[in-house]
Amino acid sequence: MKHNQWIRVALDVPLAGPFDYRVPESLQAIKGQRVLVPFGRRELVGIVLETIESPSYPEDQVKDILMVFDDLSPLPQDWLDFGLFAASYYHRPVGEVLLPAMPSALRKPGSYTGKLSKGGPVARLDRRKKTAIALAPPEDNTHVLNEEQQEAVDAVLAIKGFKTVLLHGVTGSGKTEVYLHLALDVLTKGKQVLFLVPEINLTPQFEQALLARFQQVVGLDGIAVLHSGLAEGERLKAWVAIQRGQARIVLGTRMAIFAPLQQAGLIIVDEEHDASYKQQEGLRYSARDLAIWRAHQLDIPVVLGSATPSLESWQHANVGRYLKLTLAKRAKTTYMPAIKLVDTKQIKLEQGFAPVVLHAIRERLERGEQSLVFLNRRGYAPVIHCASCGWMSQCPRCSVYTVLHRMPGHGNVLQCHHCGYYGRVPVKCPDCGNQDLEMLGRGTQRVEEYLQAAFPQACVERIDADSTRLKGSARKLFDRVHSGEIDILVGTQMVAKGHDFRKLGLVCVLNADAMLFSSDFRAPEKLFAQLAQVSGRAGRHVAGGEVLIQTAYPEQAVYQALIRHDYDTFANASLEERKITHLPPFSHQVLISAQAKTVNQAMQFLLETRQLLASQPQLSGFQAAINMYDPVPLRIVRVAHVERAQLLVESASRPVLQAFLGHWLPLVQEIGKRHRIRYFTEVDPLEI
């Protein structure tokens, strides 16, 4: 009797499969192992999904596998099942889910031999440990919970098996302390904890908190960190520690949801509303949503924490599907920061600042407190412009304006934020020759420059994607903010999330209105979340925290809810609107985005796919339950010479939508092949 003679393998190729292989008698391959297989002219590493009775195509066409990797124990069944679920839900080949989840060293023929070179996370954690001790705030070592926190911890610990918990805690209410108490309980029971955080920049802060608290419980090797900013060796080492069950705490960004946990006891998703949990390329998954499925699969609790939960989660909590726990009070200070609206309609701004805002910054400086100036627009000026003929700096490859950037050592350049195009700044108007080109608007660079000039005695720094491009530079900048060295911090959304700046008293928001009139139905929800987040940086440890939001529309509901710190009313009113307009969470959506040389080609393809619903007999049963919108060009129609359009599909029922996709997408694929068009499918899209 021969066993394991035929196997089905997951491969990271853009083909549906299945890929069946023969195991030669000299080898043995079992489910969950990595194998090396011939594929066309290449050799690829795949994962054994199952052993099969017979291959799905003629035996003489089935090739032999070349090698079995036994450097790691096989990936567990639940991990394979998790990948299969994600593949079916997002309608992608399973190999595109499973293999990219692993470090590349495990996907390359012959590069991992079961030995790890010194220098991976251990050395890195050693460095972190020293920093952690240096930064550990002394009064934090008491770890005493207030009443609300204790009730939240008790409620989660009382859960047996699977339950989704929505921990709604105002900014500064000490959600982290709740997480840490829960984690300790799980660790002492010998189980693993998976912590998801939205930003790479937040992992050091969590890592420090976890190390300070748990190093003696789990040891230095007991914490594995997974995010895309890791060096390959670091990622491999973390993965191996998880797969071997040595890592007891797994901390990471969205990719960590695919960690091959061995004995998970709890999953925590911090800032669950954050858009970073959504992968925007390849497999377009939501790590938050997958975390709930994973917890259900493993029969363990999952805690979703946020000050401004997504309306999806809020609705689930409202109807009792999630357990809602509330932290309404701040842990370290008595008060929430006072949020005030500065009406900019009637006043003259000085370089984008209302006089009252500049005055407030000056006062904080004199009191030795920090101020944060929040502006979600990087670069120096968003566009340059000719006043005599109306010329604007436009990207030659995209339908957007290029942004003026000051590059230290390189002078000024025009940069496209969509395709990465760089161009010189013209000395005169390319259309009319006018030499007086003007800058319109301001970005973080220009604001930083102005504040340096206005407050020469202050230390002004900027944190955005440009100032933190070099590896480790973000961390250094944040350390300088934490140490109190920086007086005025100018930043984009990078500074809004999670950071616990101890000396920060004032937050000023400059261009909030930019998001008010977006066509995206989630824009008010995102604006509320973003402003609540950035406001929450003020006065976490000092009394008298204040937030000044410059706006020309102070009467807008989102601002009125913000100044009252009233997320509940805002969320419930928004949900009422969504219900009336049949938008998520009251419907479920799928987006098909097509890319072509011309927008007409993209539209033509989408129109054809849309017509299938009425013309194909096998889809007729879905007509009543599926709503397809008209295809539309994207707001930014052209990026890097490619024009884009999209088609939105909607249903009140998730199972019906999934069943429809199962029938419809293969037909879409055929049309796509015929049109030779690039398109992607996004289930539960976040941006429309």
398 or 512: CB nearest Zn ion = 398
Single out the residue of 518, 387, 385, 377 nearest to residue 448, CA to CA. 377
Tokens of 424: 């010189």
38 or 420: CB nearest Zn ion = 420
What one-character DSSP code corresponds to residue 50?
E
Minimum separation from the CB atom of position 598 to Zn ion (A): 17
State the DSSP H helix or E strand holding residue 359, giving kind and residue range, or none if neither.
Answer: helix 355-366
Q: Which stretch binds Zn ion (CB under 5 A): 54-62, 200-208, 434-442, 559-567?
A: 434-442
What whole-number distance in Å separates Cα of residue 158 and Cα of residue 474? 39
What whole-number distance in Å separates Cα of residue 138 and Cα of residue 141? 6
State the DSSP H helix or E strand holding residue 76, giving kind and residue range, or none if neither.
Answer: none
189 or 428: CB nearest Zn ion = 428
Minimum separation from the CB atom of position 403 to Zn ion (A): 10
Using the structure block, give the residue that is written with the tokens 């884009």. 644
Using the structure block, give the residue that is written with the tokens 């969504």. 578
20 or 643: CB nearest Zn ion = 643
Helices (runs of H) and strands (runs of E) counted in the chain: 17, 28
Can residue 394 be called a binding residue for Zn ion (CB under 5 A)? no
Pick out the residues of the known binding site for Zn(2+).
Answer: 386, 389, 395, 398, 416, 419, 429, 432
Dihedral pair phi/psi, residue 49, rounded to 5°: -85, -40
Out of 251, 398, 404, 657, name the contact with Zn ion by CB under 5 A: 398
Q: Which stretch binds Zn ion (CB under 5 A): 99-107, 158-166, 290-298, 389-397?
A: 389-397
- Footprint of Zn ion on residues 218-247 (CB under 5 A)? none
- Footprint of Zn ion on residues 353-372 (CB under 5 A)? none
Out of 31, 191, 397, 406, name the contact with Zn ion by CB under 5 A: 397
Can residue 432 be called a binding residue for Zn ion (CB under 5 A)? yes
Can residue 395 be called a binding residue for Zn ion (CB under 5 A)? yes
87 or 634: CB nearest Zn ion = 634
- Paired residues of 35 in beta bridges: 46, 68
**For Zn ion, what does the binding mask look like between residues 405 and 424, x meaning CB under 5 A?**
-----------x-xx-x---
Minimum separation from the CB atom of position 512 to Zn ion (A): 26
Cis preceding linkage at 337, omega within 30: no
238 or 386: CB nearest Zn ion = 386
Burial class (CB in 10 A: 0-12, 13-18, 19+), 366: exposed
Query: Taking the mean position of all CA atoms in its chain, how far away is CA 272?
Result: 10
Q: Which stretch binds Zn ion (CB under 5 A): 58-66, 144-152, 265-273, 380-388?
A: 380-388
What's the chain's Rg over C-alpha atoms?
27
Minimum separation from the CB atom of position 391 to Zn ion (A): 4
User: Which three-class secondary structure state does DSSP give residue 290?
Assistant: helix
* Bridging pattern class, strands 504-509 and 546-551: parallel
What whole-number distance in Å separates Cα of residue 335 and Cα of residue 316? 29
Binders of Zn ion: how many residues, by CB under 5 A?
14
Q: Which stretch binds Zn ion (CB under 5 A): 129-137, 285-293, 384-392, 659-667?
A: 384-392
Minimum separation from the CB atom of position 465 to Zn ion (A): 16
Out of 146, 246, 318, 434, name the contact with Zn ion by CB under 5 A: 434
Can residue 431 be called a binding residue for Zn ion (CB under 5 A)? yes
429 or 590: CB nearest Zn ion = 429
355 or 390: CB nearest Zn ion = 390
Can residue 562 be called a binding residue for Zn ion (CB under 5 A)? no
261 or 395: CB nearest Zn ion = 395
What whole-number distance in Å separates Cα of residue 286 and Cα of residue 270? 14
Per-position b or e across 90-108, b if 16+ CB within 10 A of its CB: bbbbbbbbbbebbbebbbe
What whole-number distance in Å separates Cα of residue 427 and Cα of residue 444? 23
Cβ count near 32 (within 10 Å): 18
Minimum separation from the CB atom of position 400 to Zn ion (A): 6
Q: Which stretch binds Zn ion (CB under 5 A): 53-61, 249-257, 381-389, 545-553?
A: 381-389
Q: Which residues bind Zn ion (CB under 5 A)?
A: 386, 389, 391, 395, 397-398, 416, 418-419, 421, 429, 431-432, 434
